[in-house]
Structure 1
Amino acid sequence: MRSSLTFLLLAGASLSAMPALAQQQAAVEEIIVSAARTKLPANALPLTVDVIDSDALAQQAAIGGSVIDAVSTLVPSFSPTRQKLSGAGETLRGRSPLYAINGIPQSTPLRDGSRDGFTIDPFFVDRVELIYGSNALQGIGGTGGIVNQVTVGPPKQDGVSGRMLLQGSTDDGFSGDGRGGKIAGLVGYREGRWDATVGGTYETRGAFYDAKGRRIGVDSTQGETQDSESWSAFGRFGYELDEGVRLDLMLSRFQLEGNGDYVVVAGNRATNLPTSATHGTTPGDPARNRTESAALTLTADDLAGGAFTSQLFFNRSRDTFGGDPSPVESFQDARIAPIGTLFDQSQNRSRKLGGKFNYERAMPGFEDLTATVGFDALFDKTEQRLIVTNRTWVPPTDFRSLAPFAQFNLALLDEKLRLAAGVRHENVQIKVDDYTTLASSGSRRVTGGSPEFSDTLFNAGIVAEPWQGVRLYGSYAQGYTVPDVGRITRAVNRDGVRIDDFLDIDPIISDNRELGVELTKGPITASATYFWSTSKKGQNLVLVAGVYEVQRQRVEIEGLELNLAWETPLPGLTLSGGYAHLDGRTDSNGDGKVDIDLDGANISPDRVNVAAAYVYGPVTARLQTQFYLSRDFDGGDVRNNFGGYNLTDVTIRHAIDMGGITLSVTNLFDKDYISYNSDTTRPTDNLRFYAGRGRTLTLGWDYSF
């Protein structure tokens, strides 16, 4: 997988200082990334790190409407979004990222409902921190990287402050049912040591239309963002116990629910006719998700010469999946209703309790060595129920993780050279009580159990800054997650199964290696990263009888990321570009050797991003294009080969006496295309052959006080 050609490309890019990427980056030496769990600046870490700051996030939210759209647009090695509520198959560097809010995990790996990209409104997010590649910095789930959404901070000065947003959107045909709107407000108050910030948002979304004016098909089962309503509440309350010692309480609730006003109309893949929708009532409750998070955080900047952080958190999610228009075979039970007539729908229920504690300081008498020690605990209970008949599909599953860790960073040669290393020991137990499968699996009685595993995860790296503005780094890091236990337990279809003997919960350990170079010279900011990662027992989504199942297969991925930004001589104008190449292979026959390509359900296409950003006086504007390049999948169904497409967006904001007016246009040139996930999966499914959104206009007014 580590092709010499790719390595030579990296070396050439390093020597010529011509690497390129798409997102706007601040100087890395000024960035402190909280997701890295250290006070050291990002340039001291052997990691690929990006931060989408508040201005860039507001721009992208005006275009796409969500944090996940912002990340997908700006990060070339992230998958194109599905433009649905479900993010199944959306990956970072070909693996699932861990989504977090202030470090609170939002992902549900025990029964992955793929709703973790919609758990907070972007209005309450100050910045998004991205750490690329497998790592265990935040524990379970970071095999593709970490997407940490850092919420707005406390008010900066005494008194009242805040901001508000009014926004409306429509397709370019101004269809009556294609309109949406949003209202949001945030108010903060600070007096002495006390501060409080509270806010709320409400958004309604109309139907989506493609470039030919056709209503885009609805996924009434997995969930939609079109034809939906969402609301979010946020609160942050702080008290400064002493100088440099602060206690914060963060509360967040987000809910997005479909209106259920449309039913699907089948398309035709053979004639390239996309799935559409017509007015109608979907059976049962519309798909929705609800997430609640709370965290109590204590920080002490100078405790015995070091920095101490502790966080106790709670997270609960209820992900409801819609009912299929035709009765789902898995849900049938002749004891309840005649076969083929029983309607039901499922709901994922997950609850997390956890604590994170870490302490960092320079070693006494050896100040060049910074040590971080800590301990993480996570308790997760997840189940999947059928809510119409109150049956258990995935039995309640308890997950417990206890993990001490230590990280070290040694500065040498006046900080021109740094050596970093760390270790984390995971002790995990999964407990499942006795249960009975659904009738469609034979109503099998399964004996529960408490399988355990423990593993020690390592990381090491080197950072060198041989010349001013040049940074080189290399690293090795292990990340881990667990297989989708829910898919395994619900599918048991034979007698005599004992969970202790049957359930393969060996962790998915991904080994990530990368080499990188960053250059800052005058108006030029550039970077290049070559990476490769392997998993001996990975988690691959494989379509079996119309349903994606998890199969434990060897997975190997390599890639190249190039970035470039140039502050032109024209005042306020910055041009940027980026490229990501991904090559993923898996072992389909179990012989220990990879033999076929990962398909579109598991890896993103290669991509080129280009953008022009302009900031001058009262005007802020951005023009951006993403080129998704064609891809054939060796060993896969040729009908899933990807032809590629490109999308262009533009946004412009003009400051006025009372805030600012923003006009954004998504898919500026009204490109007609089939979304990547639809084009590369389910080659015979005419109900999930979705076109992408056509030209969409958004007009907003924002005001800060």
Structure 2
Amino acid sequence: MRTALLTSTILATALLAHAAAAQTADAGREVEEVTVTAARTVLPANALPLTVEVIGAEDLKQQVTIGGSVVDAVAALTPSFSPTRQKLSGAGETLRGRSPLYAINGIPQSTPLRDGSRDGFTIDPFFVDRVELIFGSNALQGIGGTGGIVNQVTVGAPKEEGVSGRVLLQNLSDNGFHGDGSGYKAAGLLSWKEGAFDATAGAAYEKRGAYYDGKGRRVGFDAAQGETQDSDSWSLFGRFGYALSDTARADLILSRFQLAGDGDYVNVAGNRTTGVPSTARRGVQPGTPARGRTESASISYTDTDLAGGNLVTQAFWNRTKDLFGGDSGATFQDIRIAPLGTLLDQSENRSRKLGAKFSYERAVPGLDGLTATVGLDLLKDRTEQALVRTDRVWVPPTRYTSVAPFLQGNLALFDERLRLAGGLRHEKVQIKVDDFTTLAFYGSRAVAGGSPEFSDTLVNAGVIFEPTPGIRGYVSYAEGYTVPDVGRITRAININGVDIDDYLDISPIISNNREVGVELKRGPFDANATYFWSTSTKGQLLVLVGTVFEVQRQRVEIEGFEFNVTARTPIEGLTVQAGYADLKGRADSNADGRVDIDLDGANISPDRVVLAANYREGPWSGRLQLGKYLSRDFQGADPRNSFAGYTLVDATVRYEFERWGGLTLAVANLFDEYYIDYNTDTQQPTNNARFFSGRGRTFTLAWDYRF
């Protein structure tokens, strides 16, 4: 089936290209040049050997109204992105089978030293202007990004003199209009510009109710990892800028986001044998409900015409505190503190980053068509995981220091019909871990700390061929770089005599991404098809050990195909879209250097088909979209973890008033489909407590106004 579908899609792409080339009326249509800041260059996206997508402000607002978050928006529009878990934790959510790096204005939000998986919820989407997606492993933004980059670009500086702003009010309800299933949101943003100075400040508050599935039952609660249902979130944002000249400016950007569970429900176990999912009842959760908090500050100086080139500098500070729910499981028990089975504890992941980025790009004098970029990235990250109720160390303070100079070049030949691109990035890394003792569950092992150093030169190269405007092909090779979840590895040491200085399991992960792509922007068509494959000789897999997921270092190989097309129809204002992703991932389970088992649902997403129709005419606009997740079996896994697949349909309609903003009605899961969440359906086949259904039909009514 995979081969037939792949062949059919390639043939469809070829037919589209032929049809577009034959349309002489539109053959000369200019291709819009989009600059992607996450790519660290001012060159347009079509000059780069990368698969790049930008979710613009209107599309982002539309998807956020349907799904509620930036993660939901990316998942709905990107076939190779995993189904979202609809939880606070994004563990297992992948892009092209690997973890993406989430960033805000280039500031990394991920915490790879001890991945708390809360990086998708670090800012309210009201303050995000667009989302830049770079697919595949690359080291453009430093550590992370083995699956790609999800860069959230916040609202820009005001363009007009005086006061401007916008407000948002919205209400949400489940299909049964239960009182506890409703939620609401209020947000506002105010900007002021006078001469060279501008300031923007805003606040957002959202109250979320309980979720109900397609059978009208409350969705179960993952109290340990954290929930978005039954929660409150607060977000503050500020941007202050000063134009030093026509080309140079300085900006200070501040943000704070917190999402906290209310703790009004407790989970009720389901029954996997009979297919009954977990649900929830009113009750008090043990301990403090899970929450996440992120604070961020950055200051930047840019000059688009410094000695004929473009200078970008940024210094940033980022701090996260992620509290997990109370747990009295075996992992936290210690007979020296309390009788076995009675000790309640909960952990908090604490991470702090300090970093700086510098890059300068310009055309090279005397070498026509050559653009070069030189830069330097500096990063310090300190992360720990503490058990807050008993003041114990679970993951010791771990410090990551990185110094990474880089050089990129882009050579345009034959009137930009051919481009050669490539570069080097040298990562010099030190990981420092203090002496510590593991928990009693792991044998109270004394572990000698250390400061191992790693040094790697990462390569990227590509060829872009654009024989005529609107038709582009490329081949590329890029290496990604990240660290494994050091915290999961060190906390699980259960043997004596371990010395961090020579403990190879914490060595960085280098993944490579090879890609062949074809893009078409001609006539009414905008299409792309990409085949990619990536490997990492010492990758990272999440494997369930007892009741806790731990890290295993194994060889990982991933390959896939992705296809997307948008077409304008003869009906004025109507466009249609289609997308498809086919992914296959394998791992080496016995350390013989050859992959022998499939990646499971915690590490790769199912294949997917996406269909949509968009309409925009006069004051009316709307969208109808379908996402079909295809069934999947996992070779080498328990057959009970097979995935049956499901289909979800969403719709939204909007009316724009002449003077008083716009009114939007969005319906998620339009046909009230009942389904089991992919993440829990494909893991832990005997865990009845963690067997979650997905959200049923949900209505959102929103009013927004700009002034």
Deviations 1:619-663 (A, max 9, x none): 110000000001111111100111000000001110123101110
Match of 1:684 in 2: 686
Checking the alignment, whether the CA contact within 8 Å between 1:6 and 1:560 is kept in structure 2 is no
Counterparts of 1:338 and 1:231 in 2: how far apart (Å)?
A: 39
Q: Pick closer, same or farther for the CA change 1:503–1:346 going to 2, 3 Å.
A: farther
1:343 aligns with 2:348: no
Structure 1 window deviating more from structure 2 (650-659 vs 141-150): it is: 650-659
In the TM superposition, residue 118 of structure 1 has moved relative to its aligned partner by: 0.3
Match of 1:477 in 2: 478
In the TM superposition, residue 17 of structure 1 has moved relative to its aligned partner by: 3.2
Deviations 1:563-607 (A, max 9, x none): 111111111110000000001111111110111111110000000
In the TM superposition, residue 526 of structure 1 has moved relative to its aligned partner by: 1.0
In the TM superposition, residue 433 of structure 1 has moved relative to its aligned partner by: 1.3
After superposition, where does 1:131-170 map in structure 2 within 5 Å?
131-170=134-173
Checking the alignment, whether the CA contact within 8 Å between 1:18 and 1:564 is kept in structure 2 is no
Counterparts of 2:522 and 2:236 in 1: how far apart (Å)?
A: 43
Q: Pick closer, same or farther for the CA change 1:215–1:10 going to 2, 3 Å.
A: closer
Instruction: Supply the RMSD in Å over aligned alpha carbons.
Output: 1.6
1:498 aligns with 2:499: yes
Counterparts of 1:15 and 1:211 in 2: how far apart (Å)?
A: 40
Checking the alignment, whether the CA contact within 8 Å between 2:16 and 2:525 is kept in structure 1 is no
Counterparts of 1:147 and 1:547 in 2: how far apart (Å)?
A: 27
Checking the alignment, whether the CA contact within 8 Å between 2:477 and 2:512 is kept in structure 1 is yes
Deviations 1:166-211 (A, max 9, x none): 0000101110100100000000000000000000000000000001
In the TM superposition, residue 369 of structure 1 has moved relative to its aligned partner by: 0.2
Checking the alignment, whether the CA contact within 8 Å between 1:29 and 1:43 is kept in structure 2 is no
Match of 1:275 in 2: 278
Checking the alignment, whether the CA contact within 8 Å between 1:19 and 1:563 is kept in structure 2 is no
Counterparts of 1:203 and 1:6 in 2: how far apart (Å)?
A: 42
Counterparts of 1:19 and 1:128 in 2: how far apart (Å)?
A: 31
1:239 counterpart letter in structure 2:
Y
Checking the alignment, whether the CA contact within 8 Å between 2:239 and 2:253 is kept in structure 1 is yes
Match of 1:670 in 2: 672
2:357 counterpart letter in structure 1:
K
Match of 2:26 in 1: none
Structure 1 window deviating more from structure 2 (632-641 vs 91-100): it is: 632-641
Task: Give the match's secondary structure for 1:222.
Answer: coil
Query: Is there any run of 5+ residues in structure 2 with no aligned partner, and where?
Result: 20-28
Counterparts of 2:461 and 2:412 in 1: how far apart (Å)?
A: 14
| Aligned equivalent of 1:55, options 49, 55, 58 | 58
Deviations 1:461-505 (A, max 9, x none): 011111232111110000011111101111122332211122522
In the TM superposition, residue 389 of structure 1 has moved relative to its aligned partner by: 1.1
Q: Pick closer, same or farther for the CA change 1:27–1:585 going to 2, 3 Å.
A: farther
In the TM superposition, residue 28 of structure 1 has moved relative to its aligned partner by: 6.5
Deviations 1:342-389 (A, max 9, x none): 110000000000000000000011131000000000000000001111
Task: Give the match's secondary structure for 1:630.
Answer: coil
In the TM superposition, residue 8 of structure 1 has moved relative to its aligned partner by: 6.3
Match of 1:202 in 2: 205
Checking the alignment, whether the CA contact within 8 Å between 1:207 and 1:216 is kept in structure 2 is yes
After superposition, where does 1:94-109 map in structure 2 within 5 Å?
94-109=97-112
Match of 1:23 in 2: none
Match of 1:259 in 2: 262
2:493 counterpart letter in structure 1:
V
Match of 1:618 in 2: 619
Checking the alignment, whether the CA contact within 8 Å between 1:252 and 1:292 is kept in structure 2 is yes
After superposition, where does 1:686-701 map in structure 2 within 5 Å?
686-701=688-703
Counterparts of 2:662 and 2:469 in 1: how far apart (Å)?
A: 39
Checking the alignment, whether the CA contact within 8 Å between 1:356 and 1:375 is kept in structure 2 is yes
2:601 counterpart letter in structure 1:
G
Match of 1:638 in 2: 639
Match of 1:516 in 2: 517
1:82 aligns with 2:95: no
TM-score under structure 2 length normalisation: 0.97
Task: Give the match's secondary structure for 1:457.
Answer: strand
Counterparts of 1:507 and 1:19 in 2: how far apart (Å)?
A: 45
1:235 aligns with 2:238: yes
Task: Give the match's secondary structure for 1:486.
Answer: helix
After superposition, where does 1:242-391 map in structure 2 within 5 Å?
242-324=245-327, 327-391=328-392
Checking the alignment, whether the CA contact within 8 Å between 2:10 and 2:529 is kept in structure 1 is no
1:604 counterpart letter in structure 2:
S
In the TM superposition, residue 442 of structure 1 has moved relative to its aligned partner by: 2.4
In the TM superposition, residue 525 of structure 1 has moved relative to its aligned partner by: 1.1
Task: Give the match's secondary structure for 1:430.
Answer: strand
Checking the alignment, whether the CA contact within 8 Å between 1:29 and 1:42 is kept in structure 2 is no
Match of 1:35 in 2: 38
2:324 counterpart letter in structure 1:
F
1:358 counterpart letter in structure 2:
S
Structure 1 window deviating more from structure 2 (376-385 vs 445-454): it is: 445-454
TM-score under structure 1 length normalisation: 0.97
Deviations 1:255-298 (A, max 9, x none): 00000000010000111100000000001110000001111011
Q: Pick closer, same or farther for the CA change 1:648–1:6 going to 2, 3 Å.
A: closer
2:90 counterpart letter in structure 1:
G
Q: Pick closer, same or farther for the CA change 1:19–1:150 going to 2, 3 Å.
A: farther
Checking the alignment, whether the CA contact within 8 Å between 1:19 and 1:528 is kept in structure 2 is no
Checking the alignment, whether the CA contact within 8 Å between 2:259 and 2:293 is kept in structure 1 is yes
Checking the alignment, whether the CA contact within 8 Å between 1:91 and 1:97 is kept in structure 2 is yes
Counterparts of 2:494 and 2:31 in 1: how far apart (Å)?
A: 53
Deviations 1:415-457 (A, max 9, x none): 1110001100000000011112222222222211001110000
Checking the alignment, whether the CA contact within 8 Å between 1:363 and 1:369 is kept in structure 2 is yes
Match of 1:397 in 2: 398
Task: Give the match's secondary structure for 1:500.
Answer: helix
Structure 1 window deviating more from structure 2 (126-135 vs 8-17): it is: 8-17
| Aligned equivalent of 1:91, options 57, 70, 94 | 94
Deviations 1:503-526 (A, max 9, x none): 522221111001111111211111
2:16 counterpart letter in structure 1:
A
Query: Is there any run of 5+ residues in structure 1 with no aligned partner, and where?
Result: 21-25
Counterparts of 1:626 and 1:17 in 2: how far apart (Å)?
A: 23
Match of 1:16 in 2: 15
Counterparts of 1:465 and 1:441 in 2: how far apart (Å)?
A: 58
In the TM superposition, residue 45 of structure 1 has moved relative to its aligned partner by: 0.3
Provide the aligned length of Structure 1 versus Structure 2: 696
Counterparts of 1:520 and 1:212 in 2: how far apart (Å)?
A: 43
Counterparts of 1:19 and 1:514 in 2: how far apart (Å)?
A: 23
Task: Give the match's secondary structure for 1:379.
Answer: strand
Task: Give the match's secondary structure for 2:82.
Answer: coil
